[in-house]
Amino acid sequence: MWTLTQAFGPGAEHYADSSVLRNRLSTELRPGDRLLVKGLRAARMEQIVAALCTAFDPPAQPTEPDVQ
């Protein structure tokens, strides 16, 4: 993976530990950012996506009852 990271050039990063990646993304991402996640199921990338969705998903807004 290190060679692939080099191929992407300056700014590319590789994380062997998913918890380090999750923490890094949680501190770097801002509301409105878009992120493409590509990874093997064996890498459990869905756990990273779930953690980020929980961290950045706005709380549900209460809806007004329909008045008729």
pTM of model > 0.75: no
Closest CA to 22 of 57, 42, 49, 43: 49
pLDDT given at position 2: 59
Whether 33 is in a domain gets the answer: yes
**The domain containing residue 47 runs over which residues?**
16-56
Between the CA of residue 51 and those of 3, 23, 63, what are the distances in Å?
28, 10, 26
Is 63 contained in some domain? no
Residue 64 lies in a domain: no
Q: What are the tens digits of pLDDT across the range 28-66?
A: 888 888 888 877 778 788 888 888 888 877 666 666 766
Residue 42 lies in a domain: yes
Specify whether the CB–CB gap between 49 and 24 falls below 8 A. Answer: no
* Domain contains 37: yes
Asked whether residue 9 is domain-assigned, the answer is no
Is residue 45 domain-resident? yes
Report whether 2 contacts 15 (CB < 8 A). Answer: no
For residues 5, 6, 7 and 9, what is the CA-based torsion angle, rounded to 10 degrees?
100
Count of the separate structural domains present in the chain: 1
- The pLDDT of residue 1 is 55
**Mean pLDDT, rounded, for 17-27:** 86
Looking at residue 52, its pLDDT comes to 85
